Amino acid sequence: MSGRPKVEEYMTREVQTVSLDDTVADVARRIKESDGHNGFPVSKGRKVEGFITARDLLLVDDEDPVFTVMTEDIIVADPDMDVIDAARVILRSGIQKLPVVDDADNLVGIISNTDVVRSQIERATPEKVGKLMRTLEQIHETTVHQEPRIVELDDLTPSQARVYADELEGRQYELERGLAEPLVVIDNGGSLLLADGHHRVMAAHQLGIEEMDASVIVLDETVELGMERTAEQEGLETIEDIEIADYGRHPLIETTQRLQE
């Protein structure tokens, strides 16, 4: 992805809304039954008339119509707005979601603080991939290209023997919220070597996820990779061979303990 990311690239296009005549009880039920929603844009046709959150439902009657309790003076974003600018608005206003409207004020999407975080995570991957591609070309005097793929976790050969339990908890949190950046995988003659993302893979495995997005670096000719030799020496054939170390063995935890002593 080149240039600064735009809101339209990361917003959710299928937006759940409520109508002006829905009741407080209707909205409360929608929030309870939804997957992580704490509020909805209020629309009339495609026009945004306001926004209602769980906080707006406090101390009002269940049968009150939405239009009497919703926030009418709302902040909206344009699809061409920089994601960073949208992040500033979200941060300064204290809201979690911005409705996105087109030039005719029609609702076309919604962007959340989670989407903003995801935009920054995903932009880190091309830099990491580009550096690894240049290194492979220089060391092995070959050419490579990159392509996005969905990879089966069972097809991956790990290049790291150990992951840490505390970091797995963080990666699971990211996966459950759609925040994990793509894996970095090397395709060496059809053999898929996991170069980056071992904690993400193990977290996904624990959650029962079988496939993940990956930035795949494809070597245009098969070469002998040092990472593959290391994997073979350590007996790493599948992700099942990766050891999960407990908290006390995490090097950062050990360093902290030494400093405290």
pLDDT for residue 248 is more than 50: no
- Helix pair 83-93, 113-140: axis angle to 10 deg: 140
CA 30 to chain centre: 24
Q: How many domains, in total, are found in the chain?
A: 2
Once rounded to an integer, what is the mean pLDDT over residues 211-237? 92
Please list the residues that pair with 52 across neighbouring strands: 40
CATH code of the domain containing 177: 3.90.1530.10
- pLDDT band at 123; cut points 50, 70, 90: low
Q: Phi, psi at residue 167, to the nearest 5°?
A: -70, -30
Which is more confident, 251 or 163?
A: 163
CATH code of the domain containing 72: 3.10.580.10
pLDDT for residue 177 is more than 50: yes
Q: Dihedral of CA 104/110/111/113: which sign?
A: positive
Domain shared by 161 and 254, yes or no: yes
Domain shared by 152 and 107, yes or no: no
Domain shared by 84 and 166, yes or no: no
Once rounded to an integer, what is the mean pLDDT over residues 239-257? 65
pLDDT for residue 254 is more than 70: no
Which is more confident, 206 or 177?
A: 206
Domain shared by 13 and 101, yes or no: yes
Once rounded to an integer, what is the mean pLDDT over residues 88-105? 87
Domain shared by 181 and 103, yes or no: no
Which is more confident, 127 or 252?
A: 127
Find the length of the chain. Answer: 261
Q: What is the overall mean pLDDT for the chain?
A: 87
Residue 43's domain comprises 7-115
Under 8 Å between Cβ of 42 and 3: no
pLDDT in tens, 24-81: 999 999 999 987 788 999 999 999 999 999 999 999 999 999 999 999 989 999 999 9
Domain shared by 107 and 47, yes or no: yes
In this prediction, residue 107 carries a pLDDT of 96
| Residue 126, in any domain of the structure | no
